Structure 1
Amino acid sequence: MIWVDIFYNLFLLLGVTLAVSTQSVQNYRLVILTFIGGSLSLLFGCISTAINAYGSQKYSAAGAGLIFQSFVLIFWVIYFGAEEDSLAKRSINGFTIPRTPLGAGSSGSANHDVVTPQQQPLNTVTVVPAKEYAYKARALYTYDANPEDNNELSFVKGEVLDIVDNQGKWWQARKQDGTVGIAPSNYLQLL
């Protein structure tokens, strides 16, 4: 039964890695949580079996390892189950390395007109109209821009925006009427 748990969690780890690397965690969040739930129930059965195998040191060691594995899975439940703007998600993301667009740090980059909040503080961001909008995104929710920040873009649910770059938490976007600004990525879904 322990081997089943090992292979199940290997495929779970590969799936989560694929979802994170393709930035599609939001799309597959409930699927990931479902598989984590299945893994936890299988894992607790394995822990029970390993603990009840008295006198065997290899099962005791396996049981200890499975307990540590359960801590990781419970952490994943908290992380993947938390909403994007929740305290748990913000706290955990505070320990991560922020993503920057490709070429943002190189001097020979052709992407000089893309400005993200990760490159500069929000109050000094200047939005420059881009030459090429590579992506389109649909607004999942209505967003009202902060009146104190002229760079933010307001939009309504269902509106289609042109996106320069889909890296980071704020994307440079253009509305159909030509208005350019930055928009929160968690309000948008790429088409």
Structure 2
Amino acid sequence: MVFYNLFLLLGTTLAVASSAIPNYRLVILTFLGGALSLMFTLIDVLINLGGLRAAQAAGAGYIFQTFVIIFWVFFFGSEDSSLIKRSINDFTIPRTPAVANNAGTANGTVANPHQAENLSSVAVTPAQDYAYKAKALYSYEANPEDPNELSFVKGEVLDIVDNKGKWWQARKADGTIGIAPSNYLQLI
């Protein structure tokens, strides 16, 4: 059970670090369900083991670990726009997108010297060829401090300039352009 939970923790950490949660969410939930089943069985065996205080203490420890797994089930099982997910995300450190190499002018230099300091600033150029289309997997609310970010709703189709990197330049159907997080979009 310890190794199962260790590999579950490592796999989840890898998915979070690589921003692949939308792709592996169901796999993680499946393994979390298996972990819960194993935990309940193990807790029952350890607590009901007659007279061994160490086994009962280990069972109590597994009860606390079960609460952590249940928390993860709520986190990975909730939609991004749900109250549970928003409440949990209020306690996290906000991420800022990295500045792409070509975010400034045509030769890759930064046009605005303050842009290098603000990592969430990515230059958006309106005269681009939108070669791709992407469907929004989740709703996204733009950061009010970054005028380049684009808000969209789940299911909305956006035109995409380039599908490389974590932030894609996109155009909505109403002509609004900006950047959108790639892990919220799926190419169609």
TM-score when scaled to structure 2?
A: 0.68
RMSD over aligned Cα atoms? 4.3
CA distance in 2, matches of 1:18, 1:142: 21
Aligned twin of 1:107 = none
In 2 relative to 1, CA 112–99 (structure 1 residues): closer, same or farther, beyond 3 Å? Answer: farther
Aligned twin of 2:33 = 37
Post-superposition Cα deviations, 1:59-84, rounded to whole Å, max 9, x if no partner, equal: 01211110010000000000000001
Q: Say whether the 8 Å CA contact 2:136–2:184 is kept in structure 1.
A: yes
Give the counterpart letter for 2:66 in structure 1. Answer: S
Q: How many residue pairs were aligned?
A: 168
CA distance in 1, matches of 2:89, 2:109: 26
Aligned twin of 1:93 = 89
- DSSP 3-state at the match of 1:28: helix
| Structure 2 runs not aligned, ≥5 long | 101-107
Aligned twin of 1:180 = 177
- DSSP 3-state at the match of 1:181: strand
Q: Say whether the 8 Å CA contact 1:139–1:189 is kept in structure 2.
A: yes
Aligned twin of 1:73 = 69
Q: Say whether the 8 Å CA contact 2:99–2:122 is kept in structure 1.
A: no
- DSSP 3-state at the match of 1:23: coil
Aligned twin of 2:166 = 166
Deviation of 1:150 after TM superposition, in Å, equals: 9.4
Q: Say whether the 8 Å CA contact 2:75–2:88 is kept in structure 1.
A: yes
Q: Say whether the 8 Å CA contact 2:32–2:73 is kept in structure 1.
A: yes
Aligned twin of 1:56 = 52
Deviation of 1:141 after TM superposition, in Å, equals: 6.0
Q: Which runs of 4+ in 1 moved over 3 A?
A: 110-115, 125-128, 140-143, 149-160, 182-187
TM-score when scaled to structure 1?
A: 0.67
| Structure 1 runs not aligned, ≥5 long | 105-109
Deviation of 1:187 after TM superposition, in Å, equals: 4.4
Aligned twin of 1:189 = 186
CA distance in 2, matches of 1:9, 1:51: 20
Post-superposition Cα deviations, 1:61-114, rounded to whole Å, max 9, x if no partner, equal: 21111001000000000000000111111110111111123469xxxxx78579
